[in-house]
Amino acid sequence: MGGLTAPPFVCILWESITPHRPMQVALTMVSSNAKTGPIPTTTSERSSCWEGCAFYDKGCYAKSGPQALHWRKVTSGERGVIWAEFIALIRNIQRGQIWRHNVSGDLPHILGDINPGMVSQLVNANRGRRGYTYTHHPLNDHNIEVIKDANSKGFTINASCESVDDADRVMTEYNIPAVAVVNSEKTDRFYTTSNGRKVITCPATIHENVTCATCGLCQVADRQFVIAFPAHGTAKKTVNAIVS
Ligand code: SF4
């Protein structure tokens, strides 16, 4: 969709009002993360998160564990590269390879509005590859358009929700894939939303021998089911309170 490529002056504005420096992103070509398995993964600096995210101040799983240290170093600029270099690195990922953008962090934005020019660069660099990610940015008209455009071109952006019913509503209203964080006790393999839409619990959270490398469900943009992630980690009580 040509309309999603911001005119040059908009790009300049978007880049120039980044608070301190261009956004930093790190690519790990072979992840050692037990949940993703050995696929390429990325981490975007903390400023990529929208302050309106339900987990911004509390409950964010990425703020604890080994990934937290990496995220802090990307955020401080000690690790990672600027966006333009990051885009070049994505082109080094083998064609056909599944990869996960943002184990921590979100898509580049200003006050929750996703940067269409930067995401368009990401979508183009992903061509022939099977990238996917999640976003907690608000589902306003602007962001929905960016998300739908990316999904139609092979880079899957899932809307992150705080309940399976909300994820169901998002899928029905906007025709985009959605996932939901659910209570840590909710680990049934399959169930349905209040409206009867199928929910699949992320297999990597309930089976030791499944990873994103072998599953890939989050990359399927036209799937008709919600994927649920039971709260985990040190903040799971806080997350349970938010999603309950
Ligand atoms: S559902 Fe599959 S692809 Fe998505 S996070 Fe879980 S294991 Fe990875």
Between the CA of residue 223 and those of 76, 156, 197, 216, 219, what are the distances in Å? 37, 11, 11, 11, 9
Average pLDDT estimate for 165-175: 98
Q: Which residue range forms the structural domain that includes residue 148?
A: 2-243
How many domains does the chain divide into? 1
Alpha helices (H) along the chain: 8-16, 66-76, 83-90, 116-125, 141-152, 164-174, 203-206, 236-243
Alpha-carbon span 67 to 238, nearest angstrom: 19
pTM higher than 0.95, yes or no? no
- Whether the pLDDT of residue 189 is over 50: the answer is yes
Does residue 228's CB lie within 6 angstroms of at least one atom of ligand 1?
no
**Number of CB atoms found within 10 A of residue 236's CB:** 17
| Ligand 1 center–CA 202 separation, angstroms | 5
In this structure, which residue's CA is closest to atom 7 in ligand 1?
212
Q: Would you place residue 83 in the very low, low, confident or very high pLDDT band (cuts 50, 70, 90)?
A: very high
Does residue 227's CB lie within 6 angstroms of at least one atom of ligand 1?
yes
The mean predicted confidence, pLDDT, of the chain is 89
Tokens representing 88 are 């070049």
- How high is the pLDDT of residue 224? 98
- Whether the pLDDT of residue 108 is over 80: the answer is yes
- In three-state secondary structure terms, 190 is strand
pLDDT tens for 132-161 read 999 999 999 999 999 999 999 999 999 999
Q: Which atom of ligand 1 is nearest to the CA of 204?
A: 7
In this structure, which residue's CA is closest to atom 8 in ligand 1?
212
